[in-house]
Structure 1
């Protein structure tokens, strides 16, 4: 059986790590294209100035427009060539990170997340949008980022909701890897490189990836609440460090080399509801995880553990929590149909899944979550 595991070249996290950014730029040269939103640059301007001074490097400002579109990628690639940049830096949230991946195209790339809201920093894939913000395509590259540099002090200063959303994304990692492993489905680590270019035989997940996915879940249960409280008061503690690692590294390696299944497909289906658009990716994935557990008829103890975890950190457990109020039967079918299109990860479940199955599981997860929430709040 062909198996694959991929990862960034180096992952470094700690307080004040942005001050070492120049050191990593120097491993490629002297000039780096800095892809970051103006607000994110402003947040860390002092650290950028200090590392520039210490290591004698130059940042080429990109005036990033905020959208990861083909047009923006083309513009930035031209700027990088014109400025003779030795590497690319993606600093900020998901859009800046994905744009940097597309600009670098597998070349020297340093990712500096300023929030721990998703597991995008470590992966070799990106999501492309139109300039207006509509989904365009997925892109895959020949390499994961060269360096992922996480300054935990910066992340502790960001709103707690980002960290909690990251925990929602991480929550699905173990359950989706478990389903993918049971069904012997291919994983992202074996996907072809480039913008849908090239072909290679599918690869399954490794024992290593599955162990990391499991550790991700165990870390959430052990340190999630403590990390949330630390972030509420903007303090870096061992628990916060552990959750940042779970959200960024364990979940990133777990989803890419361990596999995606129903939780992320349900997330994609739920995006047909206008009300969900004000909620973060990980918040919707948390509810998608509950739907997956209902689909596979997970043991009651496991469902209860997940529900308790979600409520303790403030993650959604029912449709109303993600802005879906009194959906019609027709809307639920539309969401389920979108979750079940042939390309979706829901087909990595270890049994056939129909649109009807998904509608039933969404309704059941919603009812269970609402009931558990009211009992939980009462206690």
Structure 2
């Protein structure tokens, strides 16, 4: 059986690690196009200046408009044409990082990924998600290679609002359940997709046991250190528990989803983008709830559902539709979500049984009731 695993070239995590960013830029040349929101750049301005001076490199600041769209990619490509750079640095949250990956790949440059929050598992992957100008899911983009360097500064991440770390936990919670479903169905994984255009290439590989174990470690680490990491973030302090969850959210979940596989949870998340109320909520917050929908679809054991809901309750992750801004969702709206989640290209078809739109709509409604029941009466 053909299997595949894909990894970034280098992952480095630690306190004040951004002070070494200039060194990694210098391994590719003398300059970098810096893609990130102005407020994120200002948060780390002192470190950027220090590392640029120390290693003799230059950052060309490109900004970021807040959404990973085709138009934003084009704007940044135009900037590179006007002001050539030796590499690209993506700094900030997932959408800025994904945009940086697309821009670097399209221009044949190396990319350094420097997350300032641990809100999702995008940093390590060779894939990116593009959205429309209206903030709806557009398409996936697959780069020719994984990031050259992923640099996680835990001091910066600890200073960010706790909400971002929790969203990362929500994203990481899905990793094991989706990898397990993909493993059980022998479905292909993102690691097997073509890295660039490969004529005649058949992306048919399944995930490795290594990836499945990394995904399982996500679940285990969340249970053991999630609440302690939240308390560390509440106090803006780097502790071993916070470092462990940063690694879980970024590295383990990133490797776990890309080489272990996605299934229903992320496909239904893409479907949720048709509900306007969800747009104010982070990716990982919504994926926390769609993981519950996947468990309902699977008819998971009551003990497993209670474990997941118990964790959500302890740290404050969404358990119902109302928790992600979708109040009074009708069955017709649920079917609209399901329709988008069930398009032929979606990962929901990695579930180990046939899926149709009615199943997904039903599971969405029932998962919401399961969350409400837990809130009102405790474990099922």
TM-score interval w.r.t. the shorter chain?
Answer: over 0.9
Of residues 205, 210, 213 in structure 1, which corresponds to 2:212? 210
Query: For the residues of structure 2 that align with 1:318 and 1:58, how far apart are their CA atoms?
Result: 47
TM-score (norm 2): 0.95
* 1:200 partner SS: coil
Query: For the residues of structure 1 that align with 2:360 and 2:353, how far apart are their CA atoms?
Result: 13
Q: Are the counterparts in 2 of residues 188 and 257 from structure 1 also a CA contact under 8 Å?
A: yes
1:33 equivalent in structure 2: 33
1:220 equivalent in structure 2: 222
* 1:148 partner SS: strand
- After superposing the two structures, state which structure 1 stretch, 304-313 or 68-77, moved more: 68-77
1:168 equivalent in structure 2: 170
1:227-266 equivalences in 2 (<5 Å): 227-266=229-268
State the Cα deviation string for residues 197-235 of structure 1 (Å, max 9, x = none).
874332100011001000011001000000001101100
1:159 equivalent in structure 2: 161
**What is the CA-CA distance between 1:130 and the residue it aligns to?**
4.1
In 2 relative to 1, CA 137–353 (structure 1 residues): closer, same or farther, beyond 3 Å?
closer
Gaps of 5+ in 2: none
Of residues 164, 186, 189 in structure 2, which corresponds to 1:187? 189
Query: For the residues of structure 2 that align with 1:196 and 1:281, how far apart are their CA atoms?
Result: 31
1:350 equivalent in structure 2: 352
1:278 lines up with 2:263 in the alignment:
no
**What is the CA-CA distance between 1:288 and the residue it aligns to?**
0.8
Query: For the residues of structure 1 that align with 2:361 and 2:72, how far apart are their CA atoms?
Result: 38
Query: For the residues of structure 2 that align with 1:226 and 1:250, how far apart are their CA atoms?
Result: 18
2:102 equivalent in structure 1: 102
1:7 lines up with 2:11 in the alignment:
no
* 1:350 partner SS: coil
Of residues 108, 126, 129 in structure 2, which corresponds to 1:127? 129
Q: Are the counterparts in 1 of residues 86 and 109 from structure 2 also a CA contact under 8 Å?
A: no
Equivalent pairs, count: 377
**What is the CA-CA distance between 1:66 and the residue it aligns to?**
3.1
* 1:6 partner SS: coil
In 2 relative to 1, CA 134–198 (structure 1 residues): closer, same or farther, beyond 3 Å?
farther
1:113-152 equivalences in 2 (<5 Å): 113-131=115-133, 133-152=135-154
Query: For the residues of structure 2 that align with 1:269 and 1:135, how far apart are their CA atoms?
Result: 8
Q: Are the counterparts in 1 of residues 137 and 273 from structure 2 also a CA contact under 8 Å?
A: no
Gaps of 5+ in 1: none
2:59 equivalent in structure 1: 59
Query: For the residues of structure 2 that align with 1:134 and 1:355, how far apart are their CA atoms?
Result: 19
1:339 equivalent in structure 2: 341
- After superposing the two structures, state which structure 1 stretch, 328-337 or 285-294, moved more: 328-337
Query: For the residues of structure 2 that align with 1:130 and 1:284, how far apart are their CA atoms?
Result: 18
2:304 equivalent in structure 1: 302
Query: For the residues of structure 1 that align with 2:216 and 2:87, how far apart are their CA atoms?
Result: 34
